[in-house]
Chain A
Amino acid sequence: MLSFDLVNFICMIINILILFLIAKKFLFGRVNGIIEKRKEELDTAFNAADKVTQEAQSNRREYQLQLAEFEKERSDRMDEAIKEAEARKNAIIEEANAEAEGLIKDARNEAERIRSVAGIDHDKKVEELVFDVAARLAGQAISEEANSELYDKFLSQATNSNTGKE
């Protein structure tokens, strides 16, 4: 009733082994292979994304450093420019003062010369007038014409004071 022969039994074992090899190669191998490959591709994509993010962060840090450097350089240059401008301003003022002193000195000399030519003694008023003219000449940009007018005015005032006219 229940027969058992070795040939068919061995055939069955071989059949099962063949089926296992076929399933392993053509079903599990292929499917697991494609899943594994997809996983690798995803991992690669994620790694690439991470790399890009890290690069972007590194670039950002670098940019911030550069920005800070630029800011420092700008600040340094501004300080330097301010110092330079300050020095230049002082130099101009000194130059202007020196020029003013020269003018005052010239005016005094001129007044002295006029006094000696006119033979009169200068009183304080004349002296004030000289200083006034000198100060105006030093403080304002006055044209040649305006200078002549001032001199004329000064001379007329000096003459009047000398002759007793007010």
Chain B
Amino acid sequence: MDLAEELKAELEIPTAFTIPIGKGIAINQTVVITWCIIAFLFVLFLILTRGFVTKNPGRRQLLVEAFVVWIQDLVGGNMDEKGKKYVPFLCSILIFLGVSNTIGIFNIAPPTKDLRTTVALALMSIVLVQIAGIREKKIGGWLKSFAHPIKVMLPMNIMELLIKPLSLCMRLFGNIFAAYVIMELVKMVVPVVLPAALCLYFDLFDGLLQAYVFVFLTSLYINEAVE
């Protein structure tokens, strides 16, 4: 198999198992990996937040509290009070993306390499943005906001409804997929030493950076919607 075919094969997400209903529902590897990530995070949250007390907290509790406060400030720092209620959702997305994007370190295919994941995330984000706008401005105000600041902007604002999620999902998918492909190429060309060094950038730094960019842009969109 030549390099091009190998890369094409990397784009294909293999089916993990098939649910025998009707013609059979194929559940792909990304969904299963996401389940594993959810299970891992669930257990981690349970362990980390076990036995929390209000007085004389231990080192573990202090670290977890500091982390949660930090991540909430990171995400909600540039949002005004109206948008703060969406911070837990954005933080959850940030944690999920952070884990998903860096899971490549353990030689597991990142879920964000699958277009379905990024499309799902982008769609949910943009739905959340519109819900935030409707909740804040009511239906009438939300509809009027499409003609903001002048009526000429109406077509462009409507197009934004599609462009924003598209840019969100394509940026994330493109970055993670590109990093994955580059890492695979590097592994083919130089199998030792170099992949380990580059892995730090592509899997760790770039993964976390893209997670933050995704959440940061979503928070900006929410801020715009609730203004």
State the A residues within 8 Å of B (CB). 1-5, 7-9, 11-13, 15-20, 22-24, 26-28, 30-32, 34-35, 37-38, 41
Contact = CB atoms under 8 A, between A and B. Distances in A.
Contacts of A22: 38, 41-42, 45
Contacts of A27: 45, 48-49, 68
Nearest to A24: B88
Given A11-B27, A20-B89, A22-B42, 8 more contacts: A12-B117, A12-B120, A15-B34, A16-B92, A16-B120, A20-B88, A32-B68, A34-B54
Interface stretch (B8-16, B151-159, B180-188): B8-16
A41 B217 CA distance: 37
B11 A2 contact: yes
26 contacts: A2-B11, A2-B115, A3-B12, A4-B115, A5-B116, A7-B26, A12-B31, A12-B121, A15-B35, A16-B93, A18-B38, A19-B37, A19-B41, A20-B89, A22-B45, A23-B45, A24-B89, A26-B46, A27-B68, A28-B88, A30-B45, A30-B49, A31-B68, A31-B69, A34-B53, A34-B65
A134 to B, nearest CB: 94
B134 interface: no
Given A12-B34, A15-B35, A31-B64, A20 B120 contact: no
Q: Per DSSP, are chain A's interface residues mostly helix, strand or loop, or mixed?
A: helix
Contacts of A20: 88-89, 92-93
Given A8-B31, A22-B45, A35 B65 contact: yes
A15 B99 CA distance: 14
B164 to A, nearest CB: 18
B28 interface: yes
Interface string B80-94: 000000001101110
Contact of B95 (A11, A23, A41): A23
A48 to B, nearest CB: 15
Given A22-B41, A23-B91, A34-B54, A16 B124 contact: yes
A1 B12 contact: yes
B123 A19 contact: no
Interface in B37-74: 37-38, 41-42, 45-46, 48-49, 52-55, 61, 64-65, 68-69, 72
B177 to A, nearest CB: 10
**Which residue, B34, B64, B93, has most C-beta atoms of chain A within 10 A?**
B34
